[in-house]
Structure 1
Amino acid sequence: MGIVAGAGLGRGNYFGRMELGMCGGTTVSTSCQNCCLEARSSLLKISLGTTFHLLKSSSVRQFPRKTSAGWCAARRVNATIATGNGAFTGGNRTEDISEALSRVVPPFQSEKDSAVFRVILAAIASVALAAEKQRRREKTEVPLDALRQGRLVESRLVYRQTFVIRSYEIGADRTASIEAMMNHFQETALNHVWMSGLAGDGFGATHAMSRNNLIWVVTRMQVHVEQYPVWGNVVEMDTWVGASKKNGMRRDWLVRDLKTGQILARATSTWVTMNKETRKLSKMPEEVRAEISPHFHERSAMNDQSEVTQRISKINGSAEYVHSGLMPRRSDLDMNQHVNNVKYIGWMLETVPPAVLDRYELATMTLEYRRECGQSDMVQSLTSLESSTSDQSQGTASSSESNGPSNGECNGASSTGSKGTSNGFPHATAPPTRMHEIKDTDAGDLRFVHLLRMESDGTEIVRGRTRWRPKN
């Protein structure tokens, strides 16, 4: 029988001699039929692309054989069944293999010959079955994306990605900032769309949305941080989508420490579609719903659903802390040509007193997005303690429902001309008693309400609520 090893490296015949062209022409000889069968069984390979190394059975091991130094190399040779003259028969059909064997293998002379050949066929069948199972598994499982370090899990409904917390994502306390966390939320959401095969030509828009000239806009988002990762930590982030009422889509996130598995943060958001040209909200077309609904996952990342739906109080009258003159930069715009939603968080936190930032950390944040903001818009940021806001809403009858300027006090200057500066922006000076109260607070959480609005006419952009816990 001729055995093709690599490019014709090995040839042999049934009656006792086999030569291998490996290792500088090393020759291996066998002196009996059974030993030749062992040599052939050790070097079998069919067109499945898998090399077989048959373990020697006890019945074969007892036969005498004469071996030179190249025998170990022979066991590593990739061999394929060939015809009697050494020419490859081609194909991997069963009839091809049977025909080749019938030409070179005479009828078995003993029961031992039959047993050895049955072992060979059993090995062929087992590896063929394993190869078929592997082929089917590769068709159903999505491999790890080497560039994004992400993959689809849980029946392809959840996108999972790992991140390393970089030095430019941390603050003075070496922990990741809330803006860094939000940027990772956005990145995993976009990668999820891409990995699912839905990505059109927009910023996370699907194929059907691109055909209908639609884009995604976020209307509400809530983030709960249990523990901030520190510089160098590796975090694992899961994200998935679900239905939200009639025209919306919900997207959730769950963040874990990759090493310990500890839950670090949870987040949920609501998204609707907007017409890219008219910049008006649009009803979700059935074409879009049919495209995304197979990817919906009925699971919630948030434990407390009551806090998710709780509305945010208005800031009526004058706010305690105000920053005016916030101007978007070109780098603040995203592919949809409006200020990215993560940028609003930085503006909102500009008005949080330094005493709070030094002694507290942000635990929970809820945002309600009211309208988009362009590069030419001038923005004003207002913040008040939630308790004082509720007092103002009850005691101020003349407050504007549109949260417009009241007697000039929300524009950075009071009627008495009191003015201060912080980070280059004018702001209303907070009452000394309120600042003293915040400085001396050692226990308990603080709650603030926030508002971003157009400085020109007071139109609301974002409402926010934050809860701050004392740092450890």
Structure 2
Amino acid sequence: MAAISNISLQFPGNLTDAKKDNNVLRLSFCSPRNTTNMSSEKRRFLSVSASYSDSPRKIDTANRVNVNGIHVAEAPLQAGKLANDPSAADEAIVTSLRGRFVEGKFVFRQIFVIRSYEIGPDKTATMETLMNFLQETALNHVTSSGIGGEGFGATREMSLRKLIWVVTRIQVQVQRYNKWGDEIEVDTWVDAAGKNGMRRDWIIRDHYTKEIITRATSTWVIMNRQTRRLSKIPEEVKQELLPFYLNRLAVPTEETDCEKIDKLTDETAQIRILSGLAPRWNDMDANQHVNNVKYIGWILESVPIEVLEHYNMTSMTLEFRRECTQSNLLESMTCPTARVMESNNNSKNRKPDMQYTHLLRLQQDKADVVRARTEWNFKQKHQ
């Protein structure tokens, strides 16, 4: 189902003239997918019944079920129940917005619609948009799991110990970028990464065709919120996470970018440097450091404009080295990679036309903040 802001309510004439039938008002919810010249069988409509009342009715989302031995939010109602239960329509909409558990309750799924302010000049979703979808799904996964605490994606045991999650590395592979109005579904799950880390994976699909559009994998560690020092995962936290671990890889092992990202310096040949990048208040997240997605825009600031115009970024690997706060000024550096990594491009479909190495560093002391590697393919090849 589409997000609520993209659902149109179609009333027969003036709402005030609509007929009440046993206190039930008939509504039609339709998908905002492109309907111009679209055959009728491709248009997806969902008719539901909602109780009519002069005063707003509170949505009840308190029902919970057992998932992997943990109390979590209830799975969505079946479509057939919508017409018989007045509260089913509200609950279905809430479920669409917040996501649900699927596949044996180990995978969390959320549906998004590409909005006009989430696309770039070529009318497709940007890498930053995709990363926002990944982040939102991950946070809602924790919230819906029943183990969420007060922190930004932290569990209850983590909140008690003033611990937060920080990402150390993330890799995103993009097969194609969706257009404005497309509906996608994002699946996410977690697994252990060594003794003191957690791996989170994602897969983005077309909501209707189920075509895989994007794959992503990431590694997370725990930091003390007050001291800003890394910490071992307490045993109590491990026990919270254990019921949700799923041994599955979104990015195949042979395509995982695990090679070290080279450090750029002022002496590196053919380098582009953009200085004076300043984090704004709205760039900070709830953990009081720059939101991970903001780094992508700063990285792309030093990429040649002709590359942005004529090539699609098909892969991005980010390696996070230190925190960045609002008081910091940054420099963005980009340099063409001298060689294309053979080990990461065994698949013919993933061989890039070009590759770049990037660095975000503090302007004052030149300390690394984020290292990155990107792969690009000519846009005409993917149209």
TM-score (norm 1): 0.58
Among 162, 171, 175, the alignment partner of 1:213 is 162
Question: For the residues of structure 2 that align with 1:378 and 1:232, how far apart are their CA atoms?
Answer: 36
Separation in structure 2 between the aligned mates of residue 372 and residue 216 of structure 1, nearest angstrom? 12
Indicate yes or no: 2:361 matched with 1:453.
Answer: yes
Q: How does 1:47-446 map to 2 (within 5 A)?
A: 142-144=74-76, 146-149=93-96, 150-305=99-254, 307-319=256-268, 320-387=271-338, 445-446=353-354
Distance in 1 between residues matched to 2:208 and 2:107, nearest whole Å: 20
Residue 367 of structure 1 aligns to a residue whose secondary structure is strand
Q: 1:160 to 1:444 in 2, by over 3 A?
A: closer
1:316–1:389 CA contact under 8 A, matched in 2 = no
Alignment length (residue pairs): 284
In 2, distance between residues paired with 1:354 and 1:277? 41
State the AA in 1 paired with 2:372. G
From the two aligned structures, give the one with the greater strand fraction: 2
Greater gyration radius: 1
In 2, the alpha carbon distance for the partners of 1:259 and 1:296 equals 27
- Give the deviation of 1:306 after TM superposition: 5.2
CA spacing shift, 1:236–1:444, aligned 2, 3 Å: closer
Name which of structure 1's ranges 304-313 and 237-246 shifts more when overlaid on structure 2: 304-313
| Structure 2 unmatched ranges of 5 or more | 1-63, 68-72, 77-91, 342-350
Q: State the distance in 1 between where 2:255 and 2:177 align.
A: 24
Q: 1:444 to 1:143 in 2, by over 3 A?
A: closer
Residues in 1 aligned to 2:210 and 2:339: alpha-carbon distance in whole angstroms: 39
CA RMSD of aligned residues (A): 2.0
SS in 2 for 1:312: coil
User: What secondary structure is seen at the aligned counterpart in 1 of 2:141?
Assistant: helix
Displacement, 1:444?
A: 5.9
Unpaired runs of 5+ residues, structure 1, are 1-136, 391-442
User: C-alpha distance in 2, partners of 1:143/1:195?
Assistant: 10
- Contact conserved, 1:242 with 1:249, CA < 8 A, in 2? yes
**How much has 1:318 moved relative to structure 2?**
3.0
**CA apart distance, 1:156:** 1.1
Quote the offset at 1:388 in angstroms: 7.9
1:190 is paired with a residue whose SS is helix
Instruction: Indicate if the aligned counterparts of 1:313 and 1:389 stay in contact, CA closer than 8 A.
Output: no
Give distance in 2, aligned partners of 1:389 and 1:451: 18
| Alignment partners' CA distance in 2, 1:171 and 1:367 | 21
Alignment deviations for residues 33-91 of structure 1 (CA, whole Å, 9 cap, x no partner): xxxxxxxxxxxxxxxxxxxxxxxxxxxxxxxxxxxxxxxxxxxxxxxxxxxxxxxxxxx
Residues 259 and 306 from structure 1, CA distance in 2 versus in 1: closer, same or farther, beyond 3 angstroms?
closer
1:167-187 Cα distance to aligned partner (Å, 9 max, x none): 000011110000000000000
Superposition TM-score, scaled by structure 2 size: 0.71
Contact 2:322 2:368 survives alignment (8 Å): yes
User: Which residue in the other structure is 2:38 paired with?
Assistant: none
Q: Which amino acid aligns with 1:214?
A: L
State the AA in 2 paired with 1:353: P
Structure with the larger RCO, 1 or 2 (CA within 8 Å, 6+ apart)? 2
Residue from 365, 369, 373 that aligns with 1:465 = 373
Alpha-carbon deviation of 1:293?
Answer: 1.1
Cα distance in 2 for partners of 1:190, 1:162 equals 14
Equivalent-residue separation in structure 2 for 1:185 and 1:139 (angstroms): 25
1:227-269 Cα offsets, whole Å, 9 max, x none, are: 1111000001100000101100000000000111111000000
| AA at the equivalent of 2:172 | V
Q: Percent same amino acid among aligned pairs?
A: 51
Aligned residues of 1:315 and 1:389 also touching (Cα < 8 A): no
Contact 2:340/2:355 (8 A) holds in 1 = no
Is the contact between residue 174 and residue 315 of structure 2 (CA under 8 Å) also seen in structure 1? yes
Residue deviations 1:337-388 (CA, integer Å, cap 9, x gap) = 0000100010001000011011101000001000010000010110000118
Q: 1:470 to 1:210 in 2, by over 3 A?
A: same
Cα distance between partner residues in 2 of 1:208 and 1:351? 41
In the alignment, is the contact (CA less than 8 A) between 1:314 and 1:389 conserved in 2?
no
- 1:90 maps to none
Match of 2:94, SS?
coil
- Shift in alpha-carbon separation, 1:317–1:361, aligned structure 2, 3 A: same
Match of 2:27 in 1: none
Is the contact made by 1:175 and 1:228 (CA closer than 8 Å) also made in structure 2? yes
1:305 Cα deviation from its structure 2 partner: 4.0
Contact 2:352 2:375 in 1 (8 A): no
Alignment-mate amino acid for residue 184 of structure 1: F
